[in-house]
Structure 1
Amino acid sequence: MSGNIAPPRRSDSLVDAPARNAVDRFASERLKPWLRLARYDRPIGSWLLMWPCQWSAALAAIAAGSTRQLPAHLALFLVGAFVMRGAGSTWNDLLDRDIDAAVERTRGRPIASGLIRRRHALVFAVLQSLVGFLVLIQFNGFAIGLGIASLGIVAVYPLMKRIMGYPQFVLGLCFAWGALMGWAALFGALAWPAAILYLGSIAWVIGYDTVYGHQDQRDDAVIGVRSTSRSFGRHSRRIIAGLYVATILLLGVAILGAGGGWPSWLGLAAFAGHLAWQVMRLDPDRPDVCLMLFRSNRDAGALLFAGLLVDALLR
């Protein structure tokens, strides 16, 4: 991405990036805006996009009684999640550049701050999407078609906060899509355990992104951006708890349908305990606590995956 692109201005770390992240510590000043645009300084979104893929791949291996394809699928989903999260974030920032400029937490983002020009960002999004497509075509035809079908939802999600009070429901459709992909990649078709896993993952996404949205409530109210954190209002904590309960129940049904054993149930119990801890700690008026709890879902997802993976390996 060099040539006619002017060297970006030096910029400080974004306010919601983890302290001493790898991009801030090791990347050159020229590369930092691009890596920040793709969220590599804040990779939590990539992890959260990846976990439903990995859950689904491991659950499919449990149902099939074979882990022969599992290592390759896990590796492909890891790469695909990080690349497509970068492409989606670039697209989101292109559409939200004016909103981002009006919100304290996001006004330093590369497009909103003028570090990266819009046409260059669009090229960057296309290049990342092409890498994602190369990952996708490693799977069977059914999985390829299923992956392509998700692009419409990804494209319209950034617009939903302008027209509906519950845009996180659309985000859930996007970020939970991997719950279908892992199963499709192994079987070349879908079955009801994958569909139930998808529904449970949607509930999880809505819950954790509502926690995340509590950071921006005041700015969102001023500029008219809609979100579940605003729509749920004073009932937010109870609704998040309900969403997490639904997540656990639905994931349990999916594990039951796939014939999961004790490691899967142990992983689900650990995952449930983590979500319960989040609800107990949640304080919607503390942005720092909300960000910490949101980020902790990386570890929650890992707990469930560990149980599913051990279950698959013991088959």
Structure 2
Amino acid sequence: MKRAAGSVADATGNWVDSLAPAWSRPYLRLARLDRPIGSWLLLLPCWWSSALAAIAAGWSLPNLWHIALFFIGAFAMRGAGCTWNDIVDRDLDRAVERTSSRPIPSGQVSVTQAALFLIAQSLVGLLVLLAFNAFTIALGIASLAIVAIYPFMKRITYWPQIVLGLAFSWGALMGWAGAFGRLDLPALLLYAGSISWVIGYDTIYAHQDREDDALIGIKSTALLFGPRTKPMLALFYAIAVILIGAGGFTAGGGSVFALGLFAFAAHLAWQIVRLDIADPDNCLAVFKSDRDAGLILFAGLVLQAVVRF
């Protein structure tokens, strides 16, 4: 498929390339709005946590105002995080075929312009955060330290996916904190399970670049696991299901949650069977399907709050 001028290598046929004003496209690409899968993956633990809090509190639905706030905040902060990542990684991105077309290494925006855009997105995230209680505000601010260090981890460890998991799973704490103004065991278990899920799906994502990464000295679990990727995915996905299940049942989840958890686990198992680490297009498609896995689990949590058995 022919790419639109300035589009990135793995984002063909999206609304940014076809509908957005030309002047805005580099910024929308910096925010990854041409590839919103990452925003969904950041959002879903927030929604899980809100639904888990509803189960624990005996509410018939999660707080819908919080659900909307998390949606806006996840897209804003994922965009800010990606902009920061692109600023830090601009020289590395030039050396990798898939990322060389990103706005900074391709010259669509300057580093200064990207930094100003980063500030604007962060301010949107801050406005969203200020709508929550004081504990949640402090908790959200604490996550920035992890976001700040993440781009550097791939330079020093084969486990940058752990740091990404710490950052992308933070929402598993935020929904509960937003409901109760504190953290309890179910939220901590959900957070730990989400970290394991992130390690799994980001390993799949990293297989797209493993050859280029090896050449330029970038580390990842994709390179570390290599041909052992499928059994390692099975391990991390199993840990995710066990810990998320423990969080759900500790919060009062019942048979409906169990069905949702089983469907989530089945989807993860299907991913492992379908995965071909030698095919970058397959890796991207399997990675993107994690949004569906997360929505399945969210539906199970919400239905459990509704029916209460």
Which of 7, 11, 33 aligns to 1:13? It is 7
Shift of 1:261: 2.2
Deviations 1:206-265 (A, max 9, x none): 000000000001100110001110011221111011100111111110111000122211
**Equivalence map 1:232-243=2 (5 Å):** 232-243=225-236
**Equivalence map 1:1-315=2 (5 Å):** 11-17=5-11, 19-67=12-60, 70-315=63-308
Shift of 1:22: 1.3
Shift of 1:69: 6.2
Query: Where does the alignment leave 5 or more consecutive residues of structure 1 unmatched?
Result: 1-9
SS at match of 2:154: helix
C-alpha contact 2:69 2:128 (8 A) present in aligned 1: yes
State the distance in 1 between where 2:134 and 2:301 align: 26
State the distance in 1 between where 2:128 and 2:256 align: 30
Letter in 2 for 1:15: A
C-alpha contact 2:43 2:74 (8 A) present in aligned 1: yes
Letter in 1 for 2:57: A
Letter in 1 for 2:81: G
State the distance in 2 between where 1:111 and 1:40 align: 16
Instruction: Answer with 105-114 or 255-264: which moved more.
Output: 255-264
Structure 1 residues 298 and 94: CA distance shift in structure 2, 3 A: same
Letter in 2 for 1:168: Q
C-alpha contact 2:51 2:61 (8 A) present in aligned 1: no
Letter in 2 for 1:255: G
Query: What is the RMSD of the two structures over their aligned residues, measured on CA atoms?
Result: 1.1
Letter in 2 for 1:151: L
Residue 3 of structure 1: aligned partner: none
Shift of 1:267: 1.2
State the distance in 1 between where 2:110 and 2:15 align: 24
State the distance in 1 between where 2:69 and 2:60 align: 15
SS at match of 1:283: coil
State the distance in 2 between where 1:264 and 1:219 align: 42
TM-score, normalised to structure 1's length? 0.95
Deviations 1:143-198 (A, max 9, x none): 11000000000000000001111111100000000000000000000000100000
Shift of 1:91: 0.2
Shift of 1:131: 0.5
Shift of 1:13: 2.5
Letter in 2 for 1:13: S
C-alpha contact 2:51 2:62 (8 A) present in aligned 1: no
Over 6 Å off, 4+ runs: none
Query: Where does the alignment leave 5 or more consecutive residues of structure 2 unmatched?
Result: none
State the distance in 1 between where 2:257 and 2:9 align: 37
C-alpha contact 2:61 2:305 (8 A) present in aligned 1: no
Structure 1 residues 224 and 255: CA distance shift in structure 2, 3 A: same
What percentage of aligned pairs have identical amino acids?
Answer: 58
Residue 6 of structure 1: aligned partner: none
State the distance in 2 between where 1:163 and 1:125 align: 25
